[in-house]
Amino acid sequence: MSAGELLEYDAHHHRTELVHGQLVVREPAGGDHAAVLIQQATAIELFVRSTSPRIGRVLGGDPGFWLAQNPDTVRAPDLAFVRADRLPDGPGPGFLRTVPDLAVEIRLPSDRAGADLQKVGDWLEAGCSLVWVVDPSRQAAQMYHADGSVDLLENGDALDGAPVLTGLRVPMESLW
């Protein structure tokens, strides 16, 4: 499948991505997922709005990022941040043809660890600087950095936005 075909595909309220030309269909997320998403989105958006000039845009609702072509890969993080200087001039049809600076993935209980790592690898390989993977069921998270390092977090720790959103710290306890 191509990215153009994915745009036309009717997934009947399912979440979809395209990975090396293969369609990946997932069930809609549940309440815990949505609650954690809104907490993270609020923290990031308030931080971004506090900057002047505004340093970028927070995107939610599974925004599609076209990461590779032939075969096409379109990934859709739960939440993303893109620096202002990397945003397109205006809204356009189709998937974003840039890579987020920060991609946030919130694990569902049904998610496989290997699939999560593949997503993280796709983000980092495409040029994403920072990927947060948050696991509500374990109340834990991982922060994957472009240099290959990984930080493991639990309650008492904080998600750190550096180097993308330097100064942003989201306490883990605030997510649950």
d(CA 140, CA 134): 6
**Does the predicted model carry a pTM greater than 0.75?**
yes
Task: Report the length, in residues, of the chain.
Answer: 176
Pairing of the two strands 130-135 and 102-106: parallel
For residue 131, give the nearest of 161, 110, 109, 107 by alpha carbon. 161
Q: Is the peptide bond before 71 cis (omega within 30 degrees of 0)?
A: yes
Residue 23's φ and ψ, nearest 5 degrees, are -75, 130
Q: In this structure, what token pair is assigned to residue 5?
A: 């075909």
pLDDT in tens, 137-169: 999 999 999 999 999 999 999 999 999 999 999
Within-domain flag for 6: no
Range of 161's domain? 29-64+73-175
Looking up residue 146, the CATH number of its domain turns out to be: 3.90.1570.10
How many domains would you assign to the chain?
Answer: 1
Tell me whether residue 16 is in a domain.
Answer: no
> Is residue 17 domain-resident?
no
Instruction: Give the pLDDT of residue 141.
Output: 98
Query: At 126, phi and psi to the nearest 5?
Result: -80, -10
Q: Is 89 among the domain residues? A: yes
Percent of the chain's residues with pLDDT above 90: 74
For 167, the 3-state DSSP assignment is: coil
Instruction: Pull the structure tokens for residue 101.
Output: 């600076």
pLDDT for the residue numbered 91: 56
